[in-house]
Amino acid sequence: MKTFTTMLKNKNRRTELIIGVPFLLLIWHLIAMGVGNINIFPTPLAVIGSLANIVTSPNFFTVVTMTLSRVLVGLTLSFCLALILGLISVNSRFVKSMLNPLVSVMKAIPTIAITVQLIIWLGPFQAPPAVGFIVIFPLLYSAVVEGLENIDLDIIEMANVYNVPKVHRIKHIYYPSVVSYLSAALAGSIGLCIKVIISAEYISTTRNSMGDGIYYGFAYFNMAEVWSWAVVAIITSAVLELPLRQLKKRICQWREVD
């Protein structure tokens, strides 16, 4: 039964790609034809041609690597601190009460405001990953806290009654719940982190970055180049999300076995 369900899901995904992608390209092409000026809104073919030029340029991999390194720094810091502070908050009402206002402010503060401030403080190279951290941390922190607080109290009480060792509690009770919530939050955070960091790179004109590529594409009124970098960002996000998809599959398998 599980094999049939997996095959059905894979078939549905292939169907979505076969139908959805051509439909998206058709809509894109029709809009571009309606605009009638590739400098204002390029056709898919114009973007593909510009993308080929970007990919074959000597510094393409340097640019992608530099932006990707900032994304990974922002995600790693957010993940580690969210996990540590989330675990502490669940076990300490004082810490949770202290962090909640800060997390609420981080969620609500306009990204552009904090970006400008961090550029002044940290400069164009350190500001983007810091912006990514400020945007992503509240999402991951809330996921950790929610995952731990939604554990069935009956299960915890049963573990107390039977004196279940802490190692087994962490492995079989806390870990699955936290991973379930955290993996879902991470899946949504990767694309958001890439968008936020590229925007920060654009504002600060960080050299050798995807944001800088978009900036110069706009400066020279070359929208095909702007959308080419957008395509690179989408592909980068999809590649980074692959490990999380595998993790989600394992979680689903664990639940089915359980």
**pLDDT digit string (tens) for 61-107?**
999 999 999 999 999 999 999 989 988 888 888 999 999 999 999 99
Instruction: Report the CATH number that the domain containing residue 120 is assigned in CATH.
Output: 1.10.3720.10
Amino acid (one-letter) located at 129? P
- Residue 10 belongs to what domain range? 1-36
For the chain, give percent helix, strand, coil, nearest 5: 85, 0, 15
Q: Is 230 exposed, middle or buried (0-12, 13-18, 19+ CB in 10 A)?
A: middle
Do 93 and 190 lie in one domain? The reply is: yes
Do 109 and 140 lie in one domain? The reply is: yes
Do 138 and 209 lie in one domain? The reply is: yes
Do 22 and 49 lie in one domain? The reply is: no
Do 50 and 1 lie in one domain? The reply is: no
Q: Which residues contact 88 (CB under 8 A, 6 or more apart)?
A: 95
At residue 101, the pLDDT reads 92
pTM score: 0.83
At residue 256, the pLDDT reads 47
At residue 181, the pLDDT reads 80
At residue 154, the pLDDT reads 67
Token pair of 220 as six digits: 């020279």
At residue 187, the pLDDT reads 81
Phi-psi region of 205 (alpha: psi -120 to 50; beta: other; left: phi over 0): left
CA 67 to chain centre: 13
Do 89 and 13 lie in one domain? The reply is: no
Do 27 and 103 lie in one domain? The reply is: no
Do 29 and 56 lie in one domain? The reply is: no
> Which regions in the chain score pLDDT beneath 70?
1-13, 152-154, 156-157, 159-162, 164-166, 168-172, 245-258
Do 146 and 30 lie in one domain? The reply is: no
Residue 208 gets which letter from DSSP?
S
CA 137 to chain centre: 11
Alpha-carbon distance of 141 to 85, in angstroms, equals 7
Do 10 and 91 lie in one domain? The reply is: no
Q: How many domains does the chain have?
A: 2
Q: Which residues contact 245 (CB under 8 A, 6 or more apart)?
A: 187
At residue 131, the pLDDT reads 95
Instruction: Judge whether 47 and 224 are in contact, CB under 8 Å.
Output: yes
Residue listed under structure tokens 């970098």: 229
At residue 113, the pLDDT reads 92
